[in-house]
Amino acid sequence: MENIYIRPVGEVDEKMIKYLTDELPLIFNKMVKPLPSIPVPPQSYDDQRQQCLSSEILKAILESAPADENKIMGVTEVDLFIPIFTYIFGEAQLDGRAGLISLARLKPDANDESPDEELYKLRALKEAVHELGHTFGLKHCPEPACVMRFANNIIEVDSKDCSFCPSCHDFIVKSQ
């Protein structure tokens, strides 16, 4: 049976790793195991943007992955970018092994909101489910509430659910 690994990249709050490790099995019906942290690859950091290029971190996650076919989800607190966007919440290989989320812009206090631990955890779970959905082959979904809907900002993250729409759910069930 294919499982899911959680790989912290850099220093990541252990409570968040535990939360994701506890919640993701309920959504994907797979075992989720935490792995030791790896450092943020120094070559991922862009001095001008003061952010990290997500593809470099994804490459490091894949290079450090156990030699099996399990999915692997990287979790980092560094701010991520890809060249065509100001920032991203995450990135994943479509129908591949690895995904990555950044917690940097999911924290309510990073968005001029009052600290809210439950909202922060829910946002992280939504983005982890979204990126893992890509690793199972799902593309972005037009359904407003589906977790696979593209989120360009934190308002769009908050407006979607933490679950798949019926069509995306069927796809996930058939892909496993």
Contact 132, 125 (CB under 8 A): no
Catalytic residue, chosen from 14, 131, 143, 156, is 131
3-state secondary structure (DSSP) of residue 39: coil
Active site residue 11: no
CA angle at 167 for the pair 100 and 89, rounded to the nearest 5°: 20
Residue ranges in the chain assigned as alpha helix (H): 14-28, 54-63, 117-135, 154-159, 166-175
CA atoms of 61 and 59, how far apart (whole Å): 5
Report the Cα–Cα distance between both ends of the chain, in Å, rounded.
Answer: 9
3-state secondary structure (DSSP) of residue 67: coil
The catalytic residues are 131
